[in-house]
Amino acid sequence: MPFDRKDVASISYMLDSIPRGRSLGEQVYERLKQAVVKGDIEPGARVVESVIGESLGISRTPVREAIHKLEKEGLLARSPSKGFFVADLKRSDIEETFGIRTVLESYAARLAAVHHRANELAPLAEKVELYQECLDRGDREALLGINTQFHEMLYGLSRSPKLIKMINDLKDQIYRFRRVILNRDDMAKISNEDHRLMLELMRQRDADGVERVVREHLLKGKDFVLVEFDRKGMVKEGA
């Protein structure tokens, strides 16, 4: 596959198809991360430097860099002296992650309610309307993207880059289940109603209210994901 640095530079206008990192290591990192997060590589599958390297036509060094970062991030784990593999999600991991996301995202929403400027809510309102249209049309594929954008824009108003980064990292860990949530008709509908409510409370700068709505919003999401998790029989409670 085309993974050459010079090529990337020269045809930079079509860079979207290629992971846009400035170094090979970062490109591998992004690509591997997406593969893990989206479930393209199954949990438990081994991730071997030489294998990845060969399949991409590059040496082991950048792959190693990527693997180590992903290990630190918790997406890969290592079996002592066997190698690396995709970390599997236990039920407790989901509960834990949602719990942390809840406090972090409700805090971000609170900050956003306080810090946002009046004209910054318009793009959010647009997303809500767009979401509604797609919902009416039954265009489920679009929902996922719009939903993501709404939340990113909302938390972006918190003006706290570290917080935003932490939230995104946490979201990656359970990305596999995002589709699950919005594929439920009722949930997709409720979701946008929540968004509308958040927006209204933001307008009123009701920090407590927004925080509460976001918390409840995530609680619903957690319950859906857990039901789905249990249904699939992926139940492996550790500890």
Which residues contribute to the site for DNA (CB under 7 A)? Answer: 1-3, 5-6, 9, 22-25, 46-51, 58-62, 64-65, 68, 80-84
Which entry of DNA, its own copies, none binds 226, CB below 5 to 8 A by partner kind? none
**Among 65, 152, 200, 216, interactor with its own copies by CB under 8 A:** 65
Residue number with CB closer to DNA (60 or 215): 60
**Among 6, 72, 117, 232, interactor with its own copies by CB under 8 A:** 72
Q: Which of 199, 194, 187, 189 is nearest to 223 (CA)?
A: 187
Which entry of its own copies, DNA, none binds 233, CB below 5 to 8 A by partner kind? none
Which entry of its own copies, DNA, none binds 104, CB below 5 to 8 A by partner kind? its own copies
Which entry of its own copies, DNA, none binds 221, CB below 5 to 8 A by partner kind? none
Chain residues 162-181 in contact with its own copies, contact rule CB under 8 A? 162-163, 166
Place of tokens 């409840």: 216
Which entry of DNA, its own copies, none binds 23, CB below 5 to 8 A by partner kind? DNA
Let me know the angle formed at the C-alpha of 97 by 92 and 101, rounded to the nearest 5 degrees. 150
Q: CB under 8 Å to 121, separation ≥6 — which residues?
A: 199, 202, 203
Q: Is 68 in the site for its own copies (CB under 8 A)?
A: yes
Q: Is 229 in the site for its own copies (CB under 8 A)?
A: no
Give min distance, CB of 34 to DNA, in A: 18
Q: CB under 8 Å to 238, separation ≥6 — which residues?
A: 90, 92
For the chain, what is the total number of helices (H) and then of strands (E)? 11, 3
How many angstroms separate the CA atoms of 171 and 165, rounded?
10
Point out which residues pair with 78 in neighbouring strands.
84
Contact indicator for 197, 59 with CB cutoff of 8 Å: no
Distances (CA, A) of 114 to 5, 35, 117, 154, 165: 44, 37, 9, 12, 20
Place of tokens 């792959």: 63
Which entry of its own copies, DNA, none binds 166, CB below 5 to 8 A by partner kind? its own copies
Q: Is 117 in the site for its own copies (CB under 8 A)?
A: no
Contact indicator for 149, 127 with CB cutoff of 8 Å: yes
Q: Is 161 in the site for its own copies (CB under 8 A)?
A: yes
The residues of the shown chain that bind its own copies, judged by CB under 8 A, are 25, 64-65, 68-69, 72, 74, 93, 96-97, 99-100, 103-104, 107, 111, 160-163, 166
